[in-house]
Amino acid sequence: MLVDALFLQMGYNATLVTLGAGLLGFAAGISGTFLFLRNRALLSDAISHATLPGVALAFLLMVALGGDGRSLPGLLAGSAVSALLGLLCVNALVRHTRLNEDAAIGAVLSVFFGFGVVLLTVIQTLPQGRQAGLESFLLGSTAAMLWADALIIAGGGAAVVVLALLFRRPFLLVAFDAAYARARGLPVARLDLLMMGLVMAITVVGLKIVGLILVVALLIVPPVTARLWTDVAARVVWLSGIFGASAAYVGAAISATAPDLPTGPIIVLVSFVVFVVSLLLAPSRGVLAAWLRYRRFQKRIHIRQGLLALAQGHPIYERLTLRLLVAAGWARGDGVATDDGMGYAARALRDEARWTALRTDNRFEAAAAMYDGVRDIDTVLTSDQIAEIDRRIAETPA
Amino acid sequence: MSGFEFVALSLPPMVIGVLAAIACALPGNFLVLRRQALIGDAISHVVLPGIVVAFLLTGMVSTWPMMIGAGGAAIVSVLLIEAIRRLARIEAGAAMGVVFTAMFAGGVLLLEQTDTSSVHLDVEHALYGNLESLIWLDAAGWGSLVDPVALAGLPPELLRMAVVACVIVAFLLVFWRGLKISTFDEGFARSVGVPVRLIGGLLVVLSALAAVAAFDAVGSIIVIAMFICPPAAARLMTDRLEIQVAWSVGFATLSAVAGYVLAGYGPLWIGFENAVSAAGMIATVSGLVLAVAAIFGPHRKGAQLPR
């Protein structure tokens, strides 16, 4: 069943939805990256909530003009206008008052959404409004997606991808160092507006599939996931697009396999699973990698301290230390050093003595800063320098 | 309109709306000043999975399990946001976006998988609430306000909201100094022995309490709007915290009363027959108040809070 869905064998509507979602996920992942790297991820939440009054007003306007009111291009155009208005309100509040951006975002999203709800209740009282189904824009609805709707999503998504990739260098520069970008003569305010414009386009296009409450997930989760895997900005952009596309594609396919699996939430949950797996497994930034790093360091400390204890004939009380030494073949179970162990212990002691001497010598200040209790001194100094240290140790009376 | 109709149909929802608005606006002052304004946004989104899980566990739509479920979800979300922020080393906004969308999506999915046709439990309810339905059937007129028998029939949401508002006021009074110092200068607060982490944690817990109590009566939209709009508008009116809190209470009350009246009677004045959503209208009015403050507020200019 799921395999059929993944290979687009679930019928016309499911195929349209799955392909459309994949494309939308790709475009959202790419344009969301710039927003995330600019530390303004939640601005997308304000933009998406601000679409609601536009959808409702467009419906009312189309009905007033004698139309059906449910034409998707009209509704999307309305949502784009009010999203833009919301965006400009956030910008105006941040620029002309002392409110911070988070307060401006929260104010705009709640007020626009509240006004949208007022308009929805107005629509419900109209004779044409009963079947308007505008509530489906809250959570998305893919059941009745048409070829024309899919074309809008595909066209909008493709345009966003092209623009985002064309402007990716200035976007990244602004995201990492806005002051430097301004000094280089880049129009930072306009670039920011374009960045938000792309996010707005994604939101509008995504209303049909994931709905306005959850569309922010497509813009935020893939970049956050991609960021875990790499430190190179250009790769974050592409990886984010790939994560977004695959989560949306797989999510839409899963939702096609049963009637009570709503597309939007499933896509969001699939992206979240990808994020959690990445958080656990990503190299260097992942939790597992960090834990392994910690364990390795802990092991080195224990072995080092154990060897020092062996060399000085101290008993070893710490069980982990003893276990590690036994495993290495340097000590017996009762804490007595093997011949091998004596050799390594003597080396560790000599290393420690060299470090002690080094840390009292101003000439080796830079090297002394690298002392962490486990590092071998010959990874820091040349053999000439070590010989010099040894001479000093020999000169000092014990 | 007669006194009977007003007392029975309009007074209780209006009072509940005012109490909910004040209960959210009070902690909102500190959230806005601490740059945590969007915590309210995150909490109000995760209320949905909380009540759905509570419904699945108890099999019924009743107040306490749902409140506990919502409160639990709010605390889980705050902990998850903090964990993801630290483990993935990303900014708080992105961590919030990851957590609340995932939890909200989970709530919607659970709701779709559950047979809720027999009970009133849906996404719209969690978002808009049903302020208009909180009527007082036992009221016979203004005289009922002093009649203990009739008072016993008041909507339970009224008492609950009043208790929550009192708890929040008590918290603010007890911790006022510490809260104030730690909001403006955390390092200084720590150095003079203020329990900064405890106060910060309690503030988030109380915000969750206000959000959960208010969502049941008035829906999530009001919660977000009241956490942010009245305090933000108040911040543009004054430089003194005490006066800002007073302004925010005034703005919250004004928004709730004016919003309710406009929603209930406004459409009738311009010739429509049906009332519109009170929750939505209250949020709209609070936005208008903020807009006016942003244009005319005496302290609208100035430096933004440092990160």
- Of A282, A315, A344, at which residue does a domain stop? A282
B193-207 pLDDT tens trace:
899 999 998 998 899
Between A and B, how many residue pairs show a Cβ–Cβ distance under 8 A?
A: 215
**Average pLDDT, integer, range B115-134:** 70
- Of A254, A282, A310, at which residue does a domain stop? A282
Q: What is B3-214's CATH number, 3.40.630.40, 1.10.3470.10, 3.40.50.2300, 3.40.630.30?
A: 1.10.3470.10
- Across the interface, do B109 and A269 touch by the CB < 8 Å criterion? yes
Structural domain harbouring A324: 288-395
- Of A223, A254, A282, at which residue does a domain stop? A282
CB-based contacts of B258, cutoff 8 Å, min separation 6: B285
**Using a CB-CB distance cutoff of 8 angstroms, which residues of chain A are in contact with residue B232?**
99, 103-104, 107
A59-92 pLDDT tens trace:
999 888 877 777 888 888 999 999 999 999 999 9
Q: How confident is residue A137, by pLDDT bands cut at 50, 70 and 90?
A: confident
Residue of A nearest to B231 (CA): A103
User: Higher model confidence: residue A4 or residue B27?
Assistant: B27
Q: Are residues A205 and A294 in the same domain?
A: no
Q: How confident is residue A36, by pLDDT bands cut at 50, 70 and 90?
A: very high
Q: Which of B35, B127, B277 faces A121 most closely, judged by CB atoms? A: B277
Q: Are residues A333 and A204 in the same domain?
A: no
CA B226 – CA B230 distance, rounded (Å) = 6
- Across the interface, do B87 and A279 touch by the CB < 8 Å criterion? yes
**pLDDT for the residue A147:** 83
A359-384 pLDDT tens trace:
888 888 888 888 887 888 888 888 88
Q: Are residues A273 and A292 in the same domain?
A: no
Tally of domains within chain A: 2
pLDDT at B243 over 80: yes
- The residue behind tokens 């010989």 is A387
pLDDT at B107 over 60: yes
pLDDT at A1 over 90: no
Q: Which of A233-237, B8-12, B132-136, B301-305 has the highest average model confidence (pLDDT)?
A: A233-237
Q: Which of A97, A216, A217 faces B294 most closely, judged by CB atoms? A: A97
Among A262, A161, A45, A255, smallest CA distance to B45 is for A45
Q: How confident is residue B116, by pLDDT bands cut at 50, 70 and 90?
A: low
Q: Are residues A127 and A42 in the same domain?
A: yes
Q: Are residues A71 and A210 in the same domain?
A: yes
Q: Where are the domains of chain B?
A: 3-214
Q: Are residues A212 and A344 in the same domain?
A: no
**Average pLDDT, integer, range B7-22:** 87
Q: Are residues A309 and A218 in the same domain?
A: no
The three-state DSSP-derived secondary structure of chain A is CHHHHHCCCCCHHHHHHHHHHHHHHHHHHHHHHHHHHCCCCCHHHHHHHCHHHHHHHHHHHHHHCCCCCCCHHHHHHHHHHHHHHHHHHHHHHHHHCCCCHHHHHHHHHHHHHHHHHHHHHHHHCCCCCCCCCCCHHHHCCCCCCCHHHHHHHHHHHHHHHHHHHHCHHHHHHHHHCHHHHHHCCCCHHHHHHHHHHHHHHHHHHHHHHHCCCCHHHHHHHHHHHHHHHCCCHHHHHHHHHHHHHHHHHHHHHHHHCCCCCCHHHHHHHHHHHHHHHHHHHCCCCCHHHHHHHHHHHHHHHHHHHHHHHHHHCCCCCCHHHHHHHHHHCCECCCCCECHHHHHHHHHHHHHHHHHHHHHCCHHHHHHHCCCCCCCCHHHCCCHHHHHHHHHHHHHCCC
- Across the interface, do A264 and B97 touch by the CB < 8 Å criterion? no
Q: Are residues A227 and A260 in the same domain?
A: yes
**Average pLDDT, integer, range B160-169:** 93
Q: Are residues A237 and A251 in the same domain?
A: yes
**Residue A337 dihedral angles phi and psi, to the nearest 5°:** -70, 145
Which of A76-80, A117-121, A348-352, B56-60 is predicted with the least confidence, judged by mean pLDDT? B56-60
- Residue A392 identity: R
Say which CATH number the domain at A9 has.
Answer: 1.10.3470.10
pLDDT at B77 over 90: yes
